[in-house]
Structure 1
Amino acid sequence: MDEQIREQIALARFKVISPVLAEPGRKQNEYLRKQAEREHLMPHYGTKRYAVSTFKGWLRKYGKEGFDGLKPRGRSDRGRPRRLSDENLAVIEVRCKAFPELTIKLLYEQLLAEGQLGDPPIGYNNLVRIVRQHDWLPGRRRTDVRKRFETGAVNELWVCDFMHGPMVRTDRRRAKAILCAVIDDHSRMIVGHAFAASETVAALTVVLKEAFGLPKRLYVDNGPSFSADLVAKACARAGISLIHSKPYDSPSRGKVERFFRTVRDRFLAVVETESTLNELNDAFTVWLREDYHHKNHRGIEGRPIDRYHASACRVPIRRMSRSELDEIFLVRHERIVNN
C-alpha cells in the first residue's frame, strides 16, 4: 500500500470522527453508535460497516499521534506464515470436540505449550476467529449485570456457595461431588474449599473450620445449609456478621459464581473422570496453588496470592485456635433419659 493510499484512508477516517473530537464521551458514544449502523466508503477497502470499538480506536490513535495515527500500518508479521496446517486444524477440532467445556483462552494456552499453533505460532485472536468460524465450541454469553463492588481489605467479606461437580467414586457407590468454596472479596483468594458427597451443614462446617482466619462478614444464599441454626450460632460466637442474599439472586454472589465458572473451564474440563473424592480434592488443591492463585485476575489486575499478602501485611488477621473452632461448631443435642 503506497503512501498516497494511506493518506486517503486516514483522511476518510478523520471525516468520520471529526464531528465529535471535542465532545464529551457520552456524545461521542451516541454519535459512534449511529455511525456503526451505516456503511462507509473507504479507499482501498471499499464499502463496509465498522464497529463502535473501531471508531474509538481511531479516536485514540488520533489523540496520541495526530493525523499520522489514522494511517493504516503494515502488518508486523508480514512475510511470516499466518495460516495453520491441516494437521494443526485437525488437532484443534479434535480437542474442542473432546472437551466442549474448554474456554478458548485455556485452549490457546494448551495448544501453545504443545506447539500446535504453527511456527511461529498464531495469535490468540486468530484462534478465536478460527474456532468461531467453524463453530467448534459452543458460545456462551453473560446475562447478569451488576455494578462493580469491592471491599478495601482482606477478610472484610467472604462469599460462600456450593457448586455441583462431577461424579466420583466413594466407598460404596458413585456420587456427585459438590464443591463448597469460600472466596475473599478483596483478593479473590479461595480461603476455604472442599469437595464433598453432599450439600450439608457438615460439609460447610468442615470448610469454615479449615479457612484462613475469620471474616467480618460472611455472605451466603438462603439454602438449608446456610440457614441452619448451627451456622448462625457459630457466627454469633465468632463475631461474624452473617448476611443472606435475596432469594434467587445469584448475581449478587457474582465473584464466587465467576470462580465456579473458572473451575468448570480450567479445572473440571481437564480433570480425570471417575476419580475418588480424595483424589479430586488433592487435584483441586494443587490446581489452586499452581494455577488459580498465581494467574493474573482481570478483576484485580494482578494475582490473588499477591493481593492477599499485600493486604494481610496492613490489617490484623483474626484467628481462632482449633479447640475454639471445635467448640463453636459443636453440635449440641438435649435428650431426656428415663431410668
Structure 2
Amino acid sequence: MPKIRADQGISRVLSAEEQTAFLEELAQYPKLTAGAVYRKLLEERRISTRISSSSLSRIVVAAGMSRNERLQEAVREKSLKFEFFAPLECVQADCMHGPLVANDTGKREKAILLAFIDDATRRIVYSEFSFTERSMIFEQGLRHILSTHGRIGRVYVDNGATFISSQTKRILDSLQVLLVHSKPGRPQGRGKIERYFRTVRDSFLRPMDTDSLKSLADLNARFHTWLESEYHRNPHRGLNGKTPLEAWLEKAQHIRTIDPTVDLETIFFHEEYRKVHRDSTITIAGTLYEVPSILIGRKVKCRFDPHRSLRRIHITHDGKDFGECRIVNTYDNTRVTRSEVDPEVFEESSSVEHPNVLAGLSASRSFAGGGQ
C-alpha cells in the first residue's frame, strides 16, 4: 500500500505564514468562499504567491474548513443558552398536536394544545386544547395573559401560520409588545417550550386513557387539574430545584401591570377595509351589512370582534366615526320608499352616475305611506 505523505495537508506552494493568514481569514469570514478570501488577501498583499484553485481546495479540505463546515460552526457558536430575569419579560409560545377527541357532532378530531411558557420562571401562563391552529386562538391566549397576569415584554414564536397574522402583529404593535420569530430550521432557541411539551406527553397524555375522553371540555378539565396540581408544583432542574410556582412568586414584584385606561376588548378588534357598494352595503365574512348611504363608493375601515358569530361592525371613514352598521334585512327593505332618497347623495358619490339606480338602493328610511 502507498505510504501516507509526510507533508499531507501542508501546502508546498504557499509559505507557512501565508497559509496561516489564509486559514485565519477563512475562519473570520465563514460566509465567503475560499476563492474570495484568497483574492482578498492578494489585494491586501498579505499573500503574494499565485496558486491554482485545485491546490487551494486541497488546503481547505485538509484543514476541515469548507464553507458549509464554517457556516455550521458559526451557527453552533451563536446557539448560546439564554434566560430572562423577570416574569413576562419573555414568553415563548408554540402548538402541540394531541389526541383524537370527539367534537360536537361526535366525529373524532385531533386536539391541538397552544401553550405560553414564561421564560424566567417556567410557569405556564396560558395553555388550552382546541381543534384549530388559527391565529385567533393565539390572540385569545395573549389577551388572557395581558388581562390576568400583566404586561408582556416580548413573545418568542416560530414561523408557523398561527403566529404570522398581520392582524396579530398590528395588535401587538399597538400594545408595544415585541413579536420575535425564531430562525427557520433552528428550534434550539425554543427549548423551554419543547421541553414542556415533552413533559405533557410523558406525564399527562401517556398515562391517560384517551378513549375515555368525552369531549374537548373534558380533556381541558383534566389537563388544567394536572397542570396546577403537578406541573407547577414539581421541582424544576432549570430553576435549581424550585417549582415554577415558587419562582413566579419570588419575582412577582417585577411584573408590570396594564394601564387600567387601556381597553383590551377594543384593542383586540380586527380591522378590515371595504368599499361600499351602490346599494349601501359591505360584506364581512359572508354577511351583508348596511352602512349610511353617504358612504356609497367610499373605502371604509371596519372594526369588529372576530370571536363573535354575529359581529357588530364599527365603521369609520377619514377619521370620522359613523357608528355601527347593521345586518341587511332584505324583507324589510322591500317596504322602503326609494323615491325619498336625497339625490345629493349621488352628486357626492363618484360611483353613481345616474338617478335611475335609485330603484336598486337598499335605503334606510322606513315606509311613510303611499305607493313605492
Partner of 1:290: 229
Letter in 2 for 1:271: M
Kindly indicate which of the two structures has a greater share of residues assigned to helix: 1
Of residues 188, 192, 206 in structure 1, which corresponds to 2:140?
206
Partner of 1:188: 122
TM-score (ref. length: structure 1): 0.55
How far did 1:225 drift? 1.6
| Compared CA separation, residues 168 and 300, structure 1 to 2 (3 A) | same
Partner of 1:326: 265
Q: Which has the larger radius of gyration?
A: 2
Relative contact order: is structure 1 or structure 2 higher (C-alpha 8 Å, sep ≥ 6)?
1
Distance 1:227 1:312 in 2: 30
Of residues 171, 175, 194 in structure 2, which corresponds to 1:257?
194
- Counterparts of 1:130-169 in structure 2 under 5 Å? 147-169=80-102
Distance 1:284 1:254 in 2: 22
How far did 1:321 drift? 6.0
Contact 1:155 1:216 in 2 (8 A): yes
Unaligned runs of 5+ in 1: 1-143
Letter in 2 for 1:244: H
Distance 2:117 2:100 in 1: 24
Aligned residues: 195
State the Cα RMSD in Å.
2.0
Distance 2:134 2:168 in 1: 11
Contact 1:161 1:182 in 2 (8 A): yes
- Deviation track 1:234-260 (CA, whole Å, cap 9, x = no partner) reads 111111011110012222100000000
Distance 1:320 1:254 in 2: 32
Partner of 2:152: 215
Q: What SS does the corresponding residue of 1:332 show, helix, strand or coil?
A: strand
Contact 1:161 1:256 in 2 (8 A): yes
Q: What SS does the corresponding residue of 1:161 show, helix, strand or coil?
A: strand
Letter in 2 for 1:223: G
| Compared CA separation, residues 239 and 321, structure 1 to 2 (3 A) | same
Contact 2:86 2:255 in 1 (8 A): no
| Compared CA separation, residues 321 and 338, structure 1 to 2 (3 A) | farther
Kindly indicate which of the two structures has a greater share of residues assigned to strand: 2
Distance 2:209 2:144 in 1: 26
Letter in 1 for 2:91: W
Distance 1:326 1:222 in 2: 26
Unaligned runs of 5+ in 2: 1-75, 280-372
Task: Tell me, yes or no, if structure 1 residue 272 matches structure 2 residue 204.
Answer: no
Letter in 2 for 1:288: L
Distance 2:264 2:277 in 1: 29
- Counterparts of 1:21-60 in structure 2 under 5 Å? none
How far did 1:317 drift? 2.5
Q: What SS does the corresponding residue of 1:283 show, helix, strand or coil?
A: helix
Overall identity of the aligned pairs, in %:
36
Contact 1:215 1:318 in 2 (8 A): no
Contact 2:87 2:255 in 1 (8 A): no
Letter in 1 for 2:232: H
TM-score (ref. length: structure 2): 0.50
How far did 1:320 drift? 5.8
| Compared CA separation, residues 198 and 152, structure 1 to 2 (3 A) | same
- Counterparts of 1:59-78 in structure 2 under 5 Å? none
Letter in 2 for 1:334: Y
Task: Tell me, yes or no, if structure 1 residue 338 matches structure 2 residue 278.
Answer: yes
How far did 1:329 drift? 1.6
Distance 2:261 2:101 in 1: 30
Distance 1:180 1:282 in 2: 15
How far did 1:310 drift? 0.7
Contact 1:251 1:257 in 2 (8 A): no
How far did 1:193 drift? 1.2
Partner of 1:16: none
Of residues 153, 156, 161 in structure 2, which corresponds to 1:224?
161
- Deviation track 1:23-78 (CA, whole Å, cap 9, x = no partner) reads xxxxxxxxxxxxxxxxxxxxxxxxxxxxxxxxxxxxxxxxxxxxxxxxxxxxxxxx
| Compared CA separation, residues 266 and 223, structure 1 to 2 (3 A) | same
Q: What SS does the corresponding residue of 2:193 show, helix, strand or coil?
A: helix
| Compared CA separation, residues 273 and 323, structure 1 to 2 (3 A) | farther
